[in-house]
Amino acid sequence: MAGFSKIFNQRFKKKLDRNLFIFCGLLPVAIWAVLFAAYPMLIAMMRSFTNWSLASNQIDFIGFTNFLRMPNDRVFSIALKNTVMAVVIVTPLTVLLALLAAAAFNTVPNLARQLFTPIYFLPSVVSMVAIASVWRWLYHSSFGLINYFFGFFGISPQPFLRDPAQALPSVLAMMIWGGIGYFAVILLAAIKSIPKVFYEAAIVDGANGFQKFIFITVPLLTPSILFTSIMSVIGTFQVFVPISVMTGGGPGDASMVLGLYIYRVAINRLEMGYATAISMVLFVIIMAITVLQWKFVRSDWEY
């Protein structure tokens, strides 16, 4: 009996030490999550139901007034429509082009891949302010490089960022270009992890390159494609710097997005309560779309 008790105590102590080690490892992360994520989110949620303003120290509870105000806010409607449009355009095109780029670079020799990987990954490490400033110059209607090349093909100079119809698509084109390299590196790493035995079996069955890509590469990359899609959706919904630098939300409010509008309401108009309410709406939209993406893709995995 004493021997059994000794063995039990040793196992219990070993399990306790392991759990204590895990707890000590996770504690800093948990503290960070509570202090810098959960707590600020809770405060923001509470302040969204108030008339909080930077111009006054008085904060009064006003219920759902801020949220009921949004449907009648013309600029909010424009910003919401532009943001959704940006997500619908940027996410599928960026992920698709990144997937094609990753598949293409997977076929080139290792030396060439190692040479060009830093080049197409460069936009992901350069400041977005610098990138947006360069692209604003490229889009310049008078001396921009893009209009300069258009001249060789007899195309008249385009206003781009000065045209309400072209401003937002022009910024979205830059965002797609900037995101391809980052996601291509992730997808390339995922492609490299696919066992070669699948491709060898497909070759034996007579599959060509396109068939191997469609029926082997893409299905096995589903988790990575889901990850890149979710990251693109979240990043595009929160877009701020490219719009702020390149168009400032203009001309007029033609390229206004929710991120920039929240900033203007909070800083320019000092309406922190209303800005917080808009940010809560943005958070709910991002969360809902992320959960839907995860649910649909996980359903495909299960069946």
pLDDT digits (tens, 9 = 90+) for 149-159: 998 888 898 99
pLDDT digits (tens, 9 = 90+) for 73-95: 999 999 999 999 999 999 999 99
Which spans in 124-166 are helix H? Answer: 128-138, 145-152
Helix (H, G, I), strand (E, B) or coil at 274: helix
Question: How does residue 16 score in pLDDT terms, banded at 50, 70 and 90?
Answer: low
User: 30: exposed, middle or buried (C-beta count within 10 Å: 0-12, 13-18, 19+)?
Assistant: exposed
Question: So what's the pLDDT on residue 257?
Answer: 96
Question: So what's the pLDDT on residue 134?
Answer: 94
* Averaged pLDDT, 23-41: 83
Positive/negative CA dihedral, 116, 120, 124, 129: positive
Question: So what's the pLDDT on residue 210?
Answer: 86
Whose CA is closest to 244, among 258, 234, 230, 225? Answer: 258
Question: So what's the pLDDT on residue 303?
Answer: 42
- Averaged pLDDT score across all residues of the chain: 87
CA distances from 29 to 9, 21, 141, 226 (A): 31, 14, 49, 25
Does the structure show a pLDDT above 90 at 168?
Answer: yes
Residue carrying structure tokens 């780029």: 101
Question: So what's the pLDDT on residue 108?
Answer: 77
Question: How does residue 25 score in pLDDT terms, banded at 50, 70 and 90?
Answer: confident
pLDDT digits (tens, 9 = 90+) for 230-277: 999 999 999 999 999 999 998 989 999 999 999 999 999 999 999 999
